Amino acid sequence: MTETVRLTRYARGGGCACKIPPGELEAMVAGLGPVGGAAADLLVGLDHGDDAAVVRLDERTGLVSTADFFTPVVDDAYDWGRIAAANALSDVYAMGGVPLVALNLLCWPRDVLPLELAREVLRGGLDVTRQAGCHLAGGHSVDDDGPKYGLAVTGVVRPEELITLDAGRPGVPLSLTKPLGVGVLNTRHKATGESFPAAVAAMTTLNRDAARAAVAAGVRCGTDVTGFGLLGHASKLARASRLTVAIEAARVPLLAGAREAVRDGYVSGGSHRNLAWVTPWTDFGRAGEADRLLLADAQTSGGLLVAGELPGAPVIGELLPRSEHLVIVR
């Protein structure tokens, strides 16, 4: 029975494209935190919408805390579990940290879908968490209308190695560690059932090695590219660092088939919303509609966007002094 279930049928929005859009999220949480504790101990809070919260434990240690869960992006339960776990762990890596312990967050329509399938999802999550060298030590499970899965993750970071959105400096190149296009390929997969193994491989790849390389290269500014797309996350980085981000569209790596998927109309609502959100402050130059949609494509478990150069990762742009536009596409 489990083989015939197409999990993406149970997803209203796929993966990180199911997130509340960036503008609405920011309006919703504005002024709501952080609460309590000694202000000096909170190294990273809600100010810029960073990837995780960081609290100083002592001179040498910051505690990194984050949670992420979403609807199925692929039909295969085990793959979805792996993707959701890699995506949740990514926010710790994006801060320059190392994950220590994770908890499963599971919503499951137990009257509609068999629990054996939920077990496959959890098995995928466990395998990736193990690969990360992180404990998976519990969780929380809720009977819900639609399946959702992810992790709450706690990690550690050396305060002097923290990677944040607001630490950018002008003149520094920007690198991206995974190709774009998983949003449109997942949308195509959901509509047609076609498989895209390269997209699954990208989404299940941990950002652990990218984060290690970034820390080794002395990177202090960066984030992971997820539901708000490259342009959305670049906008947040530019705004927090009070700079302008320039992106060389031709240098941005794409997964095979991504361009065709856009051409054939497999663009999620989330990606259209991302594009609408960044348009007021973006100079698109000569970039046409397809390029714009790809640059705004909502990623799930995307790569790291870092201010600096990393071995094997293409340079896709640079940080400039703040000019009229927050983002420039060249």
Choose between 122 and 152: whose C-beta lies nearer to ligand ATP.
152
Binding ligand ATP (rule: CB under 6 A), the pick from 6, 23, 46, 146 is: 46
Which of 207, 180, 179, 186 is closest to 18 using CA atoms?
Answer: 186
Least gap, CB of 91 to Mg ion (angstroms) = 5
Assess 120 for contact with Mg ion (CB under 5 A): no
Assess 76 for contact with Mg ion (CB under 5 A): no
Least gap, CB of 87 to ligand ATP (angstroms) = 5
Residue type, 144: D
In this structure, are residues 259 and 294 in contact, taking their beta carbons and an 8 Å threshold? yes
When computed from its CA atoms, the radius of gyration of the chain, rounded to whole angstroms, is 19
Assess 224 for contact with Mg ion (CB under 5 A): yes
- Interacting stretch for ligand ATP, rule CB under 6 A, among 3-11, 42-50, 157-165, 245-253? 42-50
Assess 51 for contact with Mg ion (CB under 5 A): yes
In this structure, are residues 172 and 319 in contact, taking their beta carbons and an 8 Å threshold? yes
Assess 68 for contact with Mg ion (CB under 5 A): no
Least gap, CB of 284 to ligand ATP (angstroms) = 23
Which of 29, 83, 33, 31 is closest to 53 using CA atoms?
Answer: 33
Least gap, CB of 91 to ligand ATP (angstroms) = 5
* Catalytic (active site) residue 16: yes
- Interacting stretch for ligand ATP, rule CB under 6 A, among 45-53, 74-82, 253-261, 278-286? 45-53
The item of Mg ion, ligand ATP, none sharing an interface with residue 161, based on CB under 5 to 8 Å by kind, is none
Residue window 213-252: x/- pattern of binding to ligand ATP, with contact defined by CB under 6 A: -----------x-xx-------------------------
Tell me the DSSP string of 285-301.
TT--HHHHHHHTPPPSS
47-86 residues near ligand ATP, rule: CB under 6 A: 49-51, 66, 68
Assess 14 for contact with ligand ATP (CB under 6 A): no
User: Which sequence positions are flagged as catalytic?
Assistant: 16
Binding site for ligand ATP (CB under 6 A): 16, 19, 25, 29, 46, 49-51, 66, 68, 87, 91, 224, 226-227
